[in-house]
Structure 1
């Protein structure tokens, strides 16, 4: 469960934050001064600090500087009144995750909090490489095939440099893990690592997200906003799905790479930058260039070093290792014994095409584990969970229905409970609620929304089914 420290000398605001964030599933600490904040951080190691600029004693900016010295990877959100916006901007330029003006909208604040915690997890969570599946509890690049050995070598060679890296490969091959590994082995590993998904952010917002804007740049721009590139000064920006970046923004990215400078939206000041760019795409960039959808000069600036991630179908010998890794990972995450997997099931897994790559085999193993009865995963377990269709997503409902039917048939053939109907409903309900909590990192409010339940109803069912709430393990 993520721990959030709220620092403000307003007692009522601290109480309001405590109530709001506790209901969202977070563990909440509070402090009324900068000195108390630093003490809490040293003793409790929170995942996020929400820090007011105006504090008694040590002010918010000086407190942030001290926090940065204690833990440079600790995300900090600055709260400020309109009159102290410049101080908040200064903190953001020094590495604060973001700042919000008081009074703020609660839904927007919750979104920023969620993004900040995710950014902190990316910076702090190691990515292991070339390890045995049973030797890691971390995110990992798994595989011993010649193709994966080349990937490991490339990461090792490029990490110690400041070269721009372009990671290419099909969807689901693990491009984000490669980017995180490069960052974690680089000389910039104590500075920010920020992820920008060029598809997830609307075109109209992507420019201001990256480059920031000046007051009056557009309707609603009531103050200056620092973009992610300035915010990540000294660190690394990972531009995911860069093949989908609008052409209108590509010229600005080219200037960043060529001149190491940017201009904020609506501004004329040239701002020097010091960031490393790692980009990734599953697009055919050569085709996009030929069709005028991607700038050729930007393409050559990005591909100083190119790392190709092979599709799973071209490294089938790694499939058993991946199956063992995901089996151990999901068993640990769900607090159940690892049942293992038979050699016959491994052979069957190697025979599939895996159009969804590593992401697909992860989903298949998770599904097989959910419906497994404690014995090693068999070919039957795999057959119920895998599909030869282009993607699991397209046929997910049909696969799930069939898997449920198979489980029910087994129970009806060998009933182990006098109240079989209630037992089956309870088992499925427990799995459903457990997965919703797992997907939301233990956040009960978001899990309730996913399930279409009220929070009191969800709480009652958690107690009824004795569900253990597992959250992301903090490294």
Structure 2
């Protein structure tokens, strides 16, 4: 299979914003930009296809809703995102209800938020568009999943595509179905494959040591802390970390874990200095997380 990065199309009449978006996404995606919705439609009519199309609401010649409605007819698989101001909020919500827009974000939108939404949309696109292909030769790590059924072939192809998207991934399923193996393979086929792969068995960590194990601690943070200690996230720097059985994370630690998942930053136990984490987070669980969240 040809190693292709996900393709993104940004449409906005703000040229400075488009340059910022190019700088943000070019390493992990193929990025194209248009300052006019009419020019963007010509790209789609020429046969170009994208994983995600991001459009501003207010533009000359055509508004974002009309553009995305026409874009949807030309490229049904693309996930469509609208950037809108508060004045256009009702219009954006109506577009979501009509199925024209998949997501909308309020401007000004922090780049980190947009990046997380786009990564999520790319994962959705990959899941929907990956089909079994028995004639494609895939990289060696994917051979660890043995089988010729449609499900296995589709899984291998999906992992290969997910490897090129530097987004957080959650594997769910019963014990023994290969979630940890899928995480290892995902790391092995990603650009981070030469860097560490760190596994954390969440149920094995008690509440008292959970923070120190994940984020590290500084000397004097607690009784017996005679030196600085590097946590699992620091050990996985530039690589990947697997949070196995994430459904068993203590409630008291969930907010700190959410911080590192959403913002890729954390603090060591006993220190208030914020540390940036350059790490891909992969999680796995055999629990029904939606059911657990709904419980009082």
TM-score, length-scaled by structure 2: 0.51
Instruction: Determine the C-alpha separation between the residues in 2 that align with 1:258 and 1:272.
Output: 12
The structural deviation recorded for 1:143 is: 2.1
Aligned to 1:228: 232
Is 1:168 the equivalent of 2:172? yes
The structural deviation recorded for 1:147 is: 1.9
Instruction: Determine the C-alpha separation between the residues in 1 that align with 2:210 and 2:164.
Output: 29
Q: How does 1:29-40 map to 2 (within 5 A)?
A: none
Instruction: Determine the C-alpha separation between the residues in 2 that align with 1:289 and 1:275.
Output: 26
Indicate the structure with greater helix content: 1
Q: How does 1:29-428 map to 2 (within 5 A)?
A: 128-129=141-142, 140-291=144-295
Q: Helix, strand or coil for the counterpart of 2:205?
A: coil
Instruction: Determine the C-alpha separation between the residues in 1 that align with 2:168 and 2:294.
Output: 23
CA contact (8 A) 1:127 1:141 kept: no
Instruction: Determine the C-alpha separation between the residues in 2 that align with 1:174 and 1:203.
Output: 27
- Residues 368-399 of structure 1: CA distance to partner in whole angstroms, max 9, x if unpaired? xxxxxxxxxxxxxxxxxxxxxxxxxxxxxxxx
Instruction: Determine the C-alpha separation between the residues in 2 that align with 1:256 and 1:142.
Output: 34
- Residues 196-255 of structure 1: CA distance to partner in whole angstroms, max 9, x if unpaired? 000122232222110011112111111211111012111100110001111111111111
| Runs of at least 5 residues in structure 1 that lack an aligned partner in the other structure | 1-125, 132-139, 293-475
CA contact (8 A) 2:243 2:281 kept: yes
Structure 1's consecutive aligned runs of 4 or more residues displaced over 3 angstroms after TM superposition are 126-129
Q: Helix, strand or coil for the counterpart of 1:199?
A: helix
Instruction: Determine the C-alpha separation between the residues in 1 that align with 2:288 and 2:236.
Output: 29
The structural deviation recorded for 1:151 is: 1.4
Indicate the structure with greater strand content: 2
- Residues 66-108 of structure 1: CA distance to partner in whole angstroms, max 9, x if unpaired? xxxxxxxxxxxxxxxxxxxxxxxxxxxxxxxxxxxxxxxxxxx
Aligned to 2:18: none
Q: Count residues with an aligned counterpart.
A: 158
Q: 1:219 to 1:127 in 2, by over 3 A?
A: farther
Q: Which has the larger radius of gyration?
A: 1
| Runs of at least 5 residues in structure 2 that lack an aligned partner in the other structure | 1-138
Instruction: Determine the C-alpha separation between the residues in 2 that align with 1:198 and 1:150.
Output: 29
The structural deviation recorded for 1:149 is: 2.3
The structural deviation recorded for 1:128 is: 4.1
CA contact (8 A) 1:127 1:181 kept: no
Q: Helix, strand or coil for the counterpart of 2:151?
A: helix
Instruction: Determine the C-alpha separation between the residues in 2 that align with 1:247 and 1:232.
Output: 24
The structural deviation recorded for 1:127 is: 7.0
Instruction: Determine the C-alpha separation between the residues in 1 that align with 2:140 and 2:293.
Output: 33
Instruction: Determine the C-alpha separation between the residues in 1 that align with 2:167 and 2:252.
Output: 24
TM-score, length-scaled by structure 1: 0.32
Q: 1:127 to 1:180 in 2, by over 3 A?
A: farther
Q: What CA RMSD, in Å, does the superposition of the two structures yield over aligned residues?
A: 1.6
Q: 1:219 to 1:203 in 2, by over 3 A?
A: same
Q: Helix, strand or coil for the counterpart of 1:209?
A: helix
